[in-house]
Chains A and B, each alone.
Chain A
Amino acid sequence: MPDAYIYDHVRTPRGRGKPDGALHQVTTLQLATTALRALRERNDLDTRLVDDVVLGCVDPVGEAGGDIARAAALNADYGHHVPGVQINRFCASGLDAVNFAAAQVMSGQHDMVVGGGVESMSRVGIGASGGAWPVEPEIAVKSYFMPQGVSADLIATKYGFSRDDCDAYAVESQKRAARAWENGYFKKSVTPVTDVNGIVLLDRDEHMRPGTDMPALAQLKPSFAQMADMGGFSAVAIDAHPEIEALNHVHHAGNSSGIVDGAAAVLVGSRKAGRSAGLKPRARIRAFANIGSEPALMLTGPVDVTKKVLKRAGMTLADIDLFEINEAFAAVVLRYMQAFDLDPARVNVNGGAIAMGHPLGATGAMILGTVLDELERTGKETALVTLCIGAGMGTAAIIERV
């Protein structure tokens, strides 16, 4: 079985996912094109070698619908022979796209594949693609559907994370992201988004609030309390975890991932394909895994999938230098660290989605690149990347530098 190597990674900066965000005027196609084009240009990539483009996108409707990957590949001038496929595993889509790309390479059927993702949350809107899971009664009831934020509050309640615990984590995420930007840790991977004239629209993550402190966060009201009580979701949470008397609503805009726009692309290929393209591999994708987890808690999949992927790779936690877990909500990361008794100094060392935002379909590919840059910068070897996922799933990948 051929190994799958990562040859390069690029991402756009993340724009605030609102009409006043810097990327709101940029179409989904243009966002994806920006990442794919940068990947092609900076590697002087002979796109004749590219067998497929796999892009994650969570709300693939309207301008993001109808296989955005093919449209973006064509638009980024990869040539008409490069096909594309759009995939969706909710919040992990970007990492799954890279894993799917790796799987194509490992299977020996393809040699070089681009994995990545795109989401213009400001233009398409979260939830725009609908879906049976929250709506069709049979599955919504069976799977204890509740909005992610309510599940995050359920996790905090069940595992004992207070509002202060979550806020403190958020402050740290902002601090780490700010420091990383200040020191140029992201410089290698972030490619600016420009207009048709080449004028820069955004070259920096726009969502960050570096000055955030505990008193500032204390001003924010819980985001999911009213929805949970009026919409019946508190009762759903308690039916699933009846040891809980009442949910502790700790999450708010300041300790949850930001809604943003962005895109990312990762070039994956076999050793041979890299040689043909004249590229040096940056890391090997050692293992990846997917898992389903308890759907009411919904966002604890990273714990389950980490155990699974470590086992598959024949590794232990001690073999991993850095952990990158998507900061969907503070409690998700806190639970992950609690479950494995992890030193926070090894987890999300350059901040995460609480500070910089979570462009749903792209995030997985973004944080994979972030941790790869950090391994290289610090001379470390291995990293585990994982994300929590709607409906109770987890995706993970282990990379090691070569």
Chain B
Amino acid sequence: MKFENFRFETDAEGIAVATWDMPGRSMNVITPQVMEELAAIVETVANDTAIKGCIITSGKETFSGGADLTMLQGLGAEYARLARTEGEEKAVAHFFAQSRKLSQLYRRLETCGKPFAAAIHGVCLGGAFELALACHFRVVSDADVTRVGLPEIKVGLFPGAGGTQRVARLMQTADALQMLFKGEQIRPLMARNMGLVHAVAPRDKIVETAKEWLRAGGSAVAPWDEKGFKNPSGRVYSPAGMQVWPAANAIYRRETHDNYPAAKAILQAVYEGLQLPMDLALEVESRYFAKILRSKEAAAMIRTLFVSMQELNKGARRPADVPPAKLRRVGVLGAGFMGAGIAYVTALAGMEVVLIDQSVEAAEKGKAHSHKLMSDQIMKGRARTADRDALLARITATDDYALLKDCDLVIEAVFEDPKVKAEVIARAEAAMRPRAIFASNTSTLPITGLAGHSQRPKQFIGIHFFSPVEKMMLVEVILGRKTGSRALAVALDYVRAIRKTPIVVNDARGFYANRCVMAYVREGHRMLLEGVPPAMIENVARMAGMPVGPLSLNDEVALDLALKILKATKAQVGPEAIDPEQEELLVELVEKRGRLGRKNGKGFYDYPEGGKKRLWPGLAELQKTKLDPDTIDIAELKQRFLVVQALEAARAVEEKVITDPREADVGSILGFGFAPFTGGTLSYIDGMGVAAFVDLAKALAKKHGERFKPCRLLMRMAREHTSFYASSADKPARRKAA
């Protein structure tokens, strides 16, 4: 048999091996053609009496990441087209039939009468792992890189090719739901312990292990197709079921605030499926899959968190004419919390780091942060002592600027004071090679202004990390007025090397992320002043999809810093640029009450030693009016939180701070956790329709003030019936923000 994507060979024993190895790709992916060929392989194995059974393995360095999500996007587009031309009913029927093909193919494999085994090395995720789950035997390699899992939930989908049903029949219901909810990538031994795979073997023995299983008479009947099969947790309606389901439903709400239809569909599909025989269970799963696949949330999340993020990670904004930079050594100035974090992620990526502070002790203290982070990894079994030693050996803690001479890139993370910055810029540039790039991690000072202290502003750029550096996946790369394309290329190459996602923004106060965050925090302050109960402000913000309430967030950042920024803005831009009542609130808290935030144990919250933080009861005194909670429109509060940020994002586009909607969306989710189910700030607007958004913003402006007034760009877009993504698709890809 000849296939394009598989090598198919049968040995003398009658054992067939289908080696998945797609031409011209580094990674196997499920495409319509792969599905066709796999179907043919299944039929061949089923019908050829000389074949005893079949092993599916990969010819690549890794198994497969699953289905081609753009194929699913294509299905959605076809549905939309059919709905227009043939009507909704036909379109849905067609969509259902198409979207369950993979599930049907796997079921056919599982019930074709011949045993199938999957021999897996490397990552095997999503639809690929669902293929493995449909096989009667699964062996994975013991390699460090091997991972199995069903991460669909992370892009607003769920495993719709039998994943929910097979996982729920392999383990206790509570464990199955947790696995499906989290979408984690699971290591080999854990996978075996969970019952997801049958065996773990060295990489060069996986196919042999599968063969041994076949030779020993491996069964062609899945456990759930055996007579008398019992679900591991027994019946849904049983005392055991009563322990699981009510809590699972509540935990779903706790984790999602009911914003993620895919997660609820997992619950419902497992609940219904466990009460049905396998074929019907799969049919029901397919019904939910078709529904979720057509959901606004899935479309938005696939676009932002998969397609756009991948494009940005691959350097969508990188100037193509600059050859790739191989960064060997990076200087980090300032060994405080940010600097120490930057040193860690840089060294973790294999680069040498020169970590400089005013004294060797201060620099060593920053280096100790890496020691701690690596030790935590070792404790969790994710790293070895040797990894820590090697990483620490890459970091030179010093007070000697002369050591910057071999650095390709120097990033400053010193105190946010223009004078201090100017001094380190001068000292660093004196030591740096002429072609090396200087980057500032400032979050408040305009890059163009700082570049004024530089002798080589073309090589000066902003690389803005988020805190904590080791956790936050976004980096804002900020272009000063004179920043050159090589500086941009080097910055993006660096961000890629540390495996974070870059967005490229133009220089402006607060850049992109922080201005949205400030609008969000301010909205929390406004609500407090209006008399909304403080807990409601915080809870409703999370219900709207934000990871942290605005008052909590403000406490983390520090209230005095918020006040400082406000005062600076007032001084530099004018009193009309700030909200006087907000200033009054912060002055009251910071200057009159000494409440600075988490750092001094009192802000909007009290932080008792060793106890849980609680909202400061004194907030009630600061509220001149208090609203009756039962009369407050909670849906409107939610809207205010999201709209105020989305408006700020739209203004950033209008002011050309942001030039690509993908960056606004990805940046908003990775940078400040903007309600991921919306797909990001601009997808939120597009998703509702610009005209509807403008109407909503106008209504909010009328009720709550000018800050909700839609900007001119939005008004124009509403008139022209366009959207951020539609208008961006018209333009050629931009190389440089401008």
Give residues in A with beta carbon < 8 Å to B. 127, 130, 134-138, 140-141, 144-147, 230-233, 235-236, 238-239, 241-246
Interface-central residue, A135, A137, A241, A246, by most chain B CB under 10 Å = A137
Known A-B contacts A135-B246, A232-B251, A232-B253; A243 and B264 likewise in contact (beta carbons under 8 Å): no
Assess A239 versus B257: contact at CB under 8 Å? Given A130-B242, A147-B246.
yes
Q: Chain B residues in contact with chain A, CB under 8 A?
A: 236-237, 241-242, 245-254, 257-258, 264, 267-268, 271, 533-536, 538-540, 543, 614-615, 629, 632, 634
| CB-CB under 8 A for A140 and B539, given A135-B237, A243-B533 | no
Main SS at interface, chain B: helix
- A-B CB contact pairs (8 Å), 6 listed: A135-B242, A136-B268, A141-B264, A239-B539, A242-B536, A245-B615
Contact in complex: A242, B535 (CB < 8 Å): yes
State whether A140 touches B246 (Cβ < 8 A): yes
Contact indicator B271/A245 (Cβ below 8 Å): no
> CB distance B250 to A238 under 8 Å?
no
Assess the B253–A230 pair: CB atoms within 8 A: no
Check A138/B268 contact, CB under 8 A, given A130-B242, A236-B250. Answer: yes
Which one of A145, A239, A241 contacts B249 once the chains associate, using CB atoms below 8 Å? Answer: A145
Q: Judging by beta carbons under 8 Å apart, are A135 and B533 in contact?
A: no
List B contacts of A138 (CB < 8 A): 264, 268
**Contact in complex: A127, B242 (CB < 8 Å):** yes
In the complex, chain B residues whose CB is within 8 Å of the CB of A144: 253
Chain A residue, CB-CB nearest to B634: A242
Residue of A nearest to B256 (CB): A141
Taking CB as reference atom, which chain A residue is nearest B254?
A235
* A243 contacts B249, C-beta separation under 8 Å: no
Give bound CA distance, A137 to B260, whole Å: 13
A residues less than 8 Å from B614 (CB atoms): 245-246
Known: A232-B250, A246-B614. A239 touches B264 (CB 8 A): no
Known: A135-B245, A137-B268. A244 touches B250 (CB 8 A): no
- Contact in complex: A231, B253 (CB < 8 Å): no
A-B contact count (CB 8 A): 95
**Bound-state Cα–Cα, A136 to B250, Å:** 11
Query: Which residue of chain A has its CB nearest to the CB of B537?
Result: A242
Residue in A closest to B539 when the chains form the complex, CB atoms:
A242
Q: Are B257's CB and A137's CB within 8 A?
A: no
Across the interface, A231 reaches (CB within 8 A) one of B251, B543, B634, namely B251
**Measured between alpha carbons, how far is A127 from B237 in the docked complex, in Å?**
11
Chain A residues in 8 Å Cβ range of B249: 134-135, 137, 140-141, 145
Q: Are B246 and A134 in contact (CB under 8 A)?
A: yes
List residues of chain A with CB within 8 A of the CB of B251. Answer: 231-232, 235
**Chain A residues, Cβ within 8 Å of B245:** 134-137, 140
Report Cα–Cα, A230/B236, bound state, in Å. Answer: 20
In contact, A241 and B629 (Cβ under 8 angstroms): yes
Q: Which residues of A contact B264 (CB under 8 A)?
A: 137-138, 141
Nearest-CB residue, chain B, relative to A133:
B246
Cα A29 to Cα B250 in complex, Å, equals: 36
Q: Which of A134, A146, A239, A244 contacts B543 (CB 8 A)?
A: A239
| A residues near B268, Cβ cutoff 8 Å | 136-138
Give chain A's interface secondary structure class.
loop
Q: Is the CB of B254 within 8 A of A232?
A: yes
CA distance A244 to B614 in the complex (A): 12
| B259 vs chain A, min Cβ distance (A) | 11
Partner of B246, one of A231, A239, A242: A231
Q: Are B535 and A239 in contact (CB under 8 A)?
A: no
Minimal Cβ-Cβ distance residue in B for A246: B614
Instruction: Assess whether A135 is in contact with B241, with CB atoms less than 8 Å apart.
Output: yes
Bound-state Cα–Cα, A286 to B503, Å: 72
Given contacts A243-B533, A246-B614, contact A137 B271 (CB under 8 A): yes
CA of A241 to CA of B536, assembled, Å: 8
Which residue of B is nearest A230, CB measured?
B247
5 smallest CB-CB distances across A and B, nearest first, come from A232-B250, A235-B254, A243-B629, A242-B539, A245-B535
* Residues of chain A contacted by B533 (CB below 8 angstroms): 243
| A137 & B250 in contact (Cβ 8 Å cutoff) | no
Which listed residue (A136, A141, A146) contacts B258, Cβ 8 A?
Answer: A141
Q: Is the CB of B236 within 8 A of A235?
A: no
What is the bound-complex CA distance between A235 and B542, given in angstroms?
11
A243 in contact with B535 (CB, 8 Å): yes
| A138 CA to B268 CA, complexed, in Å | 7
CA distance A354 to B684 in the complex (A): 51
Given contacts A127-B242, A138-B264, A242-B543, contact A236 B254 (CB under 8 A): yes
Residues in A whose Cβ lies below 8 Å from that of B535: 238, 242-245
* In the complex, chain B residues whose CB is within 8 Å of the CB of A134: 242, 245-246, 249
| Supplied contacts A134-B249, A232-B251, 7 more A-B pairs, CB within 8 Å | A134-B242, A135-B237, A137-B249, A140-B249, A231-B247, A232-B250, A236-B254
Q: Which residues of B are found within 8 Å of A127, using beta-carbon distances?
A: 242
Residues of A within 8 A of B247 (CB): 230-233
Cα–Cα distance between A138 and B367 once the two chains are bound (Å): 51
Residue of A nearest to B237 (CB): A130
Instruction: Judge whether B246 and A145 touch: CB under 8 Å.
Output: yes
Q: Name B615's closest neighbour in chain A (CB-CB).
A: A245
B250 touches A233 (CB 8 A): yes
Select from chain A the residue with minimum beta-carbon distance to B535.
A245
CB closest chain-B residue, reference A146: B250
Minimum Cβ distance to chain A for residue B338 (Å) = 32
Contacting residues, chain A, for B254 (C-beta < 8 A): 232, 235-236
**Which of B252, B258, B539, B615 interacts with A238 by CB under 8 Å?**
B539
Chain A residues whose CB sits within 8 angstroms of the CB of B250 once the complex forms: 140, 145-146, 231-233, 235-236
Min Cβ gap B598→A in Å is 17
B238 vs chain A, min Cβ distance (A): 8
> Looking across the interface, which residue of chain A has its beta carbon closest to that of B534?
A245
Give every chain A residue within 8 A of B634 (Cβ-Cβ).
Answer: 242
Q: Distance in Å from the Cβ of A50 to the closest Cβ of chain B?
A: 35
CB distance from B352 to the nearest CB of A (A): 46
CB of A204, distance to nearest CB on chain B (Å): 32
Bound-state CA distance A130–B246 (Å) is 11
**A147 cross-chain contacts in B, Cβ below 8 A:** 246
Q: Name the distance in Å between B619's Cβ and chain A's nearest Cβ.
A: 11
Taking CB atoms, residues of chain B closer than 8 Å to A243 are 533, 535-536, 539, 629, 632
Closest A residue, CB atoms, query B246: A134
Bound CA span A141–B254, Å: 10
In the complex the two chains form, is A137's CB within 8 Å of B252's CB?
yes
Closest residue of A by beta carbon distance from B241: A135
Q: Which residue of B lies closest to A127 (CB)?
A: B242
Residue of A with least CB distance to B628: A243
Which chain B residues border A146 with CB–CB below 8 Å? 250
Given the complex of chains A and B, what is the CA–CA distance between A243 and B257 in angstroms?
15
In the bound complex, CA of A137 to CA of B271 (Å): 8
Residues of B within 8 A of A232 (CB): 247, 250-254
Q: CA of A230 to CA of B250 in the docked complex: distance in angstroms?
A: 10
Cβ–Cβ < 8 Å partners of B536 in chain A: 242-243
Knowing A135-B245, A140-B246, A230-B247 touch, does A236 contact B271 (C-beta < 8 A)? Answer: no
Cα A141 to Cα B258 with chains together (Å) = 8
How far apart are the CA atoms of A326 and B421 in the complex, in Å? 71
Residues of B within 8 A of A231 (CB): 246-247, 250-251
User: Which residues of A sit under 8 angstroms from B257, Cβ to Cβ?
Assistant: 239
| B15 vs chain A, min Cβ distance (A) | 43
Chain A nearest CB, measured from B546 CB (Å): 13
Point out which of B246, B248, B271 has the most chain A C-beta atoms below 10 A from its C-beta. B246
A147 to B632, CA, bound (A): 26
Inter-chain CA distance A84–B667, complex, in Å, is 66
Chain B residues contacting A236 (CB-CB under 8 Å) are 250, 253-254
Minimum CB distance partner of A158 in chain B: B629
Which residues of B sit under 8 angstroms from A130, Cβ to Cβ?
237, 241-242
* B271 contact set on A, CB distance < 8 A: 135-137
A141 close to B629 (CB less than 8 A): no
> Smallest CB–CB gap between B540 and chain A, Å?
5
